[in-house]
Amino acid sequence: MKLEGTYTALVTPFDETGALDLDAMTALVEWQIQSGVDGLVPCGSTGEAATLTHEEHTQVVRHVVEVAAGRVPVIAGTGSNSTAEALSLTAAAREAGADAALLISPYYNKPTQDGIYQHYRSIAEETGLPLIIYNIPGRTGSRIAPETSARLSRVPGLIGLKEAGGDLGATSQTLAASDEDFAVLSGDDSLTLPMLAIGARGVISTTSNVAPVEMAALVRAGLEGDATRARSQHFALLGLMDALFIETNPIPVKTALQITGRIPCAHLRLPLTEMAKANRDALEKALARRTGA
């Protein structure tokens, strides 16, 4: 599987009772594909995987696979701080038809670098599904070091890294030391452009939930070496990117999708809560500026 382009980290729509809204998910997936994204990532952080049951998790992955119907790859979020649980979720995603899996680095446990390596290696060996490792120390409490990413890049089945560490220097070290077939994708929307400049091959994006055409255009321009066009797209999206992270993800992006009519309900499961009014007002202004309203 070739990793390149814009992959949307999908929200998981719920109805007003908090149950899965698969009709809303169907509409969102169809719109994303028609808008030109290169792949879909259900059940990640943006998809509120932490509050989905295992049954719901598999149901969402299977539904997205069925709706996508092979038109774009589906990369299922299957990470856990328990290696056994991550193995189970990854095996279920494989059975549901996912093309690959994205696994957050084990959180809370704060494993050593060798523990991180052994975690990913064992899942790759036991499941046979292409895997993407995910470095996001702001959520996990530990960081995947560049030398660990490089070591993992040589494990069969580990095809890439979603990098959300916010450190371009460390990302440069990772790119320099990793196998050349190992794809690094941005996990920070606002850092996508500079990451493309140093060799990243795309983004797993929250912003593309709301602006798939524009985010795909930014990445395409960057990959084609059109710095002027990529920079223009980056600055056009910057205000929206900032607004979508004014509170904890996915609170703003879900709210934005409801405001724009893409999902009927912005219900969030506790401990996530409705946006504060001042922040919602700022989000509405950013959305209005984007549409020229």
**What is the tens place of the pLDDT at every residue in 227-285?**
999 999 999 999 999 999 999 999 999 999 999 999 999 999 999 999 999 999 999 99
Domains and CATH numbers, the chain: 5-224 (3.20.20.70)
Query: Annotated catalytic, 110?
Result: no
**What is the tens place of the pLDDT at every residue in 111-140?**
999 999 999 999 999 999 999 999 999 999
Q: Is the pLDDT of residue 96 over 60?
A: yes
Q: Is the pLDDT of residue 292 over 70?
A: no
Global pTM? 0.96
Cα 149 from Cα 155, distance rounded (Å): 10
Confidence at residue 1, expressed as pLDDT on a 0 to 100 scale: 84
Q: Which helix (H) or strand (E) holds 69?
A: none
| List 120, 162, 254, 285, catalytic entry | 162
Confidence of residue 293 (pLDDT cuts 50, 70, 90): very low
Query: Annotated catalytic, 107?
Result: no
| List 120, 134, 254, 277, catalytic entry | 134
Backbone angles phi, psi at 269, to 5 degrees: -90, 135
Task: State the CB neighbour count (10 A cutoff) for residue 46.
Answer: 23
Cα 248 from Cα 264, distance rounded (Å): 21
ω into 250 cis (within 30 of 0): yes
**What is the tens place of the pLDDT at every residue in 206-220?**
999 999 999 999 999
Query: By CB neighbour count within 10 A (0-12 exposed, 13-18 middle, 19+ buried), where does 2 fall?
Result: exposed
CB 27 within 8 A of CB 262: yes
**Mean pLDDT, all residues of the chain:** 96
